[in-house]
Amino acid sequence: MKRLAIVILVLAVFDAIEATGSDGGGYCNCNRIMAPRPHSVTITEFGAVGDGKTLNTVAFQNAVFYLRSFADKGGAQLYVPKGKWLTGSFNLTSHLTLFLEKDAVIIGSQDSSQWPIVDPLPSYGQGQDIPGQRHRSLINGYNLTDVVITGHNGIIDGQGVVWWEWFNSQTLNYSRPHILELVNSTDVVVSNLTFLNSPAWSIHPVYSSNVEILNITVHAPVESPFTNGIVPDSCSNLCIEGCSIEVGHDAIALKSGWDNYGITFSTPSTDIHIRNAHLQAPLGSALAFGSEMSGGISLVYVEHLHIDDSLIGINFKTVPGRGGFIHNIVVSNVEMENVHEAFRFSGNCGRHPGNQYDPSALPIVQGITLKDMVGTNISTAGFFSGIDSDPFTGICLSNIALSITSDASLPWTCSNISGYSESVFPSPCSDLTSNSSLSCFSFAAEFTGLADA
């Protein structure tokens, strides 16, 4: 009976992977769209000057406009050579490779008028920082397919310090922009680049699928307010591999829309693979789910994380009004070092976009497995707090050893939560000691290649 259940689960997992057209290995495989482009132009051909002072917004816009004509000829590359290329916001186009040479730095203008105003995303209903519209990101893609943003470790620097000051002094007129936002796009690779100092988030793929984010470094200073690293948002078949991220808030945050807007838009983040990442979030969470999760988050496999110097290691955030779900998540093979709180599940975390939300729209948090982890210099093991009359269930911990440094309080705090645990030190609260692992979500790694290094 048990064996039959396992076979059915494995078949279901295979079906899920086949259905979404991923490579069956469940991790990044970008060879299919990394063929060199038959045409290439250099940004200087469009009058750009790489002195760090000349504003090159029009050069980038004209270059992309010109390269649109190569879309049906195998696409084209926009080559950015060594230099400091100051620019405002520009769009990408389909079948385009944006390539940043070593020591090429694209710098975001600190003049807010270089970042035009756009409508909020439909799944959010308003800007993240303040109600109303928001600034367009530095580099944007709308409705695109086959886009590669790569280089020899070139840099994209958002120069966000002015935005952080406007945010902190409450003098923003519109919500802050991100460095890279891809909306409703498919077959996207972002690789071999460094993203610095985003005004808000560094990489924001939204309503997109078949997205691969490989070998990326993201940095924003600890004190930069609510700067997130990579934010997969209502995306499917997305992978993040080999990335190193240190930001002011959450290093990787999975999202899917905000309250009534996200419930109506109803587009989950699903079939997401994250592996081999080094994450630091001194004032936030290294890996976060939510708090905006109203379209749902499911089928997320995370493995081989190194998390250090962070406030929270792995954080599941939601609040009544969100609706949606977080289910079928496995996080495994994690090392944590110098983390204040290793795990957090909170049913009372996050703001609302105005008063239109329905407080009776309760999120479902279910089937989440955290396993094979070690932590050193951890202050608190876990704070697990579900919602009254809406408990979080199937929360499973396995093979976890944490060395706890704080002697102040109990290492675990639990309420409105149930699940299973085995081989966990220090011993978790009794809420997590159901004697059946049936409600745990498990992923048969050996059948899918995820276990291969």
Question: Contact region for ligand NAG (CB under 6 A) — 170-178, 299-307, 328-336, 443-451?
Answer: 170-178
Which range binds ligand NAG by CB under 6 A, 184-192, 269-277, 370-378, 388-396?
A: 184-192
Q: Taking CB under 6 A as the rule, does residue 69 contact ligand NAG?
A: no
Cα Rg, the chain, nearest whole Å: 22
Tokens encoding 370: 């955290």
Q: How many residues bind ligand NAG (CB under 6 A)?
A: 19
| C-alpha to C-alpha distance for 369 and 420, rounded to whole angstroms | 9
Binding of ligand NAG at residue 143 (CB under 6 A)? yes
Query: Does residue 202 belong to the site contacting ligand NAG (CB under 6 A)?
Result: no
152 binds ligand NAG (CB under 6 A): yes
Task: Decide: is 439 part of the binding site for ligand NAG (CB under 6 A).
Answer: no
Q: Binding mask 312-341 vs ligand NAG (x if CB under 6 A, - otherwise)? A: ------------------------------
Instruction: Please tell me whether residue 184 binds ligand NAG under the rule CB under 6 A.
Output: yes
**CA distances in angstroms from 96 to 15, 35, 183, 206, listed in the order given:** 32, 11, 15, 19
Q: Which is nearer to ligand NAG, 168 or 173 (CB)?
A: 173
* Residue 453: count of CB within 10 angstroms of its CB: 5
Q: How many Cα atoms within 13 Å fall on the side-chain side of residue 167?
A: 22
Beta strand pairing call for 285-289 and 297-317 = parallel
Structure tokens at 64: 């992309």
CA 26 – CA 181 distance, rounded (Å): 24
- Closest to ligand NAG by CB, 142 vs 425, is 142
Q: Does 30 bind ligand NAG (CB under 6 A)?
A: yes
**Cβ-based nearer residue to ligand NAG, 148 or 252:** 148
CB of 34 to ligand NAG, least distance (A): 6
- Cβ nearer to ligand NAG, comparing 184 with 442: 184
Cβ count near 452 (within 10 Å): 10
H or E segment and range at residue 60: helix 57-67
Q: Which of 91, 376, 385, 399 binds ligand NAG (CB under 6 A)?
A: 91
Instruction: Give the whole-angstrom CA distance, residue 36 versus residue 359.
Output: 51
Rounded CA-CA distance 175/329 in Å is: 31
| Cis peptide bond prior to 426, omega within 30° of 0 | yes
Comparing CB distances to ligand NAG, the nearer of 10 and 117 is: 117
Q: Which residues bind ligand NAG (CB under 6 A)?
A: 30, 61, 91, 112, 142-143, 150, 152-153, 166, 171-173, 184, 191-192, 214-215, 242
